[in-house]
Amino acid sequence: MATDYLSLLNTSQAAAVMQTEGPCMIIAGAGSGKTRVLTYRIAHLLEQGVDPFNILALTFTNKAAKEMRARVEKVVGPNARNLWMGTFHSVFAKILRSEADKIGYPRSFTIYDSQDSKTLVGQIVKELELDDKLYKPSLVLGRISAAKNKLISVNQYLNDPAIKADDEAALRPKIGVLYQQYQQRCFKAGAMDFDDLLYQTNVLFKEHTDVLNKYQNMFRFVMVDEYQDTNYSQYLITRKLAAKERNICVVGDDAQSIYAFRGADISNILNFEKDYPELNIFKLEQNYRSTKNIVWAANSVIKNNQAQLRKDVFSENEEGTLIEVLKAASDNEEGKLVANSIFEDKMNHHLSYDDFAILYRTNAQSRAMEESLRKLNIKYKIVGGLSFYQRKEIKDLVAYLRLTVNPNDEQALRRVINYPKRGIGDTTISKLINVAEESNHSFWEVVSSAEQFLPARVSNPVVGFAEKIKSYTVLAGKEDAFEAAKFIAKNSGMLEELYADKSIEGLSRYENIQELLNGIKEYVDDPEREDKSLGAFLQDIALVTDTDLKDAAQDGEAVTLMTIHSAKGLEFRNVYIVGMEENLFPSQMMITSRADLEEERRLFYVAITRAEKKLTLSYATSRYQWGNLRSCEKSRFLDEIDPRYVHFKFAAGTPGAGQPDPTFQHVFERRSNLLPTPVRKTAATKYVAPADFAPSDTSNLQSGQRVEHPKFGFGTVSALETQQGTTKATILFEEVGEKVLLLSFAKLRVL
């Protein structure tokens, strides 16, 4: 069996797979087959007789874990199902479910998403009568998250002079108090946020060495994917777990470390050897994804970073076309150039719109792209929109389900106590909250005994609601997740209320609830799931990552639009990186320090290496910002690409159209003889239209007619196709060959 999969690997990959003992670092360049190496390394361990329960494999998305498990199972069979494999958050949430009582949490603790956390912080800010403009929930949570990722406790935060000085300088001296209140309220509600799943795991291992020893003995082999994206908290957990056996293998690429804003610490991979002097290092340097020109261009950019693990990435694929750089007069012009390029490439090369992706530094850049794509009837999908689980009706039903599993979940309780309306007004809710705070009881404890605090007329609907939730809890203990959820959706009155709304929006909300129930049914019917309880399902959906949600984008053939951060781990045949301008990319906020600028350069490297066959970069010389038209300067990153691998193209009307960009006069200078010179095709002589050229009415254009184009010259119409009111003409031009043009834009003179 071993021979079968080892024969599929190159020399470096095979060496990394077979090195199973001791610490190991696999530096994997973009497109170098790291997933294959991780997969076969796990398979090799199992082939050597290692118990799958003794292997821990940590990833950053559920999708990556699922794909890896499926691949391992293909090699070694169903034994792979017993692996401990998943995201950091899902694996340690599972451990915390078993051990939470040791640190004072219920095993049925709720996992708060970012919206739950923002709502709670907003409530605390209001209760403390602080300025909600100064103490914005997202800002406060960012500060709290950074503290947790660095394992700074509430007490440490409140007593650290440097932290106190920072908050006072920012005119937010109460952040520490908000952190304290937030943690207390989460604890009282039996809830953890995403950061807590790692923070509390560290607390568990630190305070209970018997628990740490238990998992050190269990996980004899620890593997971490995308190690360059780990934060301090994740680094410490993995180091503790591997401390006994020291069989730790990390896989990553420092050149693709782009999540510092989320707390990722590139020094974890750069300094890995300091923790393990006996480290075995393997470099995967062959890129199987991209053409040589794309790989060479990426190398020429990333070599400008000082903080890096040196490697020589190469490709044995075709040389490919040169990287095209488009210069436009404005952001709208840039959108038109990109849309036209996509349309022409699709038609001329018989591609699918799924082959194309437009990547940008910020979400706001999508507007000009969207408008231009719509004008050409090009279907597109935007990754990063509102996710299914963030829709109001879904959050409402999920709140009922969360409350069923954990009645102390304050955010869920507040959300549904009067939905659908049952006569529990804001005044009543405020009274109950005040009683809970004054008596130091949870909100649920007060709600479930409301008759003690309120007159009968007011308390009756509250008591009735509490009885409902108690009955749901009993039911959920007996039935699987689907049966419990179906009953709760009906009994709560939610389905009836949504069904009664006959508007298009109402129908959509009702269908979304049906889709959620379908998803729960699918979850329960999965034969590989041992735990089919409502609690297990809720944990599963709480741990869905942003990357996993990309797969929920609309179906059907469409161009993908997304930020570069969202594109990490993906690949497309043709990639457009737009907005290559100073202060946009690199971002204005990321050019004040070398570390930040190097992170931006790594982000550009990630963007370049998403492309398989064709890469196009574009920039505008002017762009609207806050309603004002501003001049733009092209990105410094364009100057860092070795000029041998690029071709510049200007839109008509932009400064320098038809002339080489003066800042690229060095384009013909050979700065290095280390790489072969790309073969360039000689450009055809540019056609010049006569002075009296005037477009004809093409509404009656027919196949076989001769036409003249101001740019492509003379040609013959070979085919016409009309879709949704838009006519496309396929024309065979004498000088430039076949082109597919939109008649509404083509400016043809019929001869």
Binding residues for ATP: 28-35
Q: Cα–Cα–Cα angle for 620, 621, 624, nearest 5°?
A: 75
Rounded Cα–Cα distance for residues 385 and 381 (Å) = 9
The tokens of 15 are what? 């060496």
The CA–CA distances, whole Å, from 431 to 428, 443, 447, 574 equal 5, 11, 10, 60
The CA–CA distances, whole Å, from 54 to 5, 24, 405, 420, 624 equal 22, 17, 31, 48, 56
Rounded Cα–Cα distance for residues 86 and 64 (Å) = 8
Q: Kindly name the residue from 63, 188, 292, 610 that is annotated as catalytic.
A: 610
Question: Is 334 known to be catalytic?
Answer: no
Kindly give the pairing relationship between strand 611-620 and strand 323-328: parallel
Rounded Cα–Cα distance for residues 738 and 35 (Å) = 41
Q: Kindly name the residue from 13, 59, 228, 256 that is annotated as catalytic.
A: 256
What is the SS3 string spanning 436-487?
A: HHHHCCCHHHHHCCHHHCCCHHHHHHHHHHHHHHHHHHHHHHHCCHHHHHHH
Question: Is 183 known to be catalytic?
Answer: no
Q: Kindly name the residue from 19, 35, 119, 180 that is annotated as catalytic.
A: 35
Determine the angle formed by the axes of helices 175-188 and 114-127, rounding to 10 degrees: 120
- Asked if residue 662 has a cis previous peptide bond (ω within 30° of 0), the answer is no
Question: Is 610 known to be catalytic?
Answer: yes
In the β-sheet with 572-577, what is the strand arrangement from edge to edge?
Answer: 380-382, 559-563, 356-360, 572-577, 611-620, 323-328, 646-650
Rounded Cα–Cα distance for residues 617 and 577 (Å) = 5
Q: Binding-site residues, please?
A: 28-35
680: amino acid identity, one letter: R
Strands of 564-668, DSSP E = 572-577, 611-620, 622-625, 628-631, 646-650
Q: Which residues, 6+ apart, have CB-to-CB distance to 156 below 8 Å?
A: none
Q: Kindly name the residue from 116, 195, 196, 226 that is annotated as catalytic.
A: 226
Rounded Cα–Cα distance for residues 715 and 111 (Å) = 64
128: amino acid identity, one letter: L
Cβ distance 715 to 734 under 8 Å? yes
Q: Kindly name the residue from 99, 113, 195, 225 that is annotated as catalytic.
A: 225
Buried b (16+ CB within 10 A) or exposed e, 115-147: ebbbbbbbbbbeeeebeeeebbbeebbebbbeb
End-to-end CA distance of the chain: 69
The 3-state DSSP class for residue 581 equals strand
Q: Kindly name the residue from 13, 34, 547, 563 that is annotated as catalytic.
A: 34
Question: Is 230 known to be catalytic?
Answer: no
- Tell me how far the alpha carbon of residue 545 is from its chain's centroid: 7
DSSP string, 71-97: HHHHHH-GGGGGSEEEEHHHHHHHHHH
The residues assigned a catalytic role are: 34-35, 225-226, 256, 610
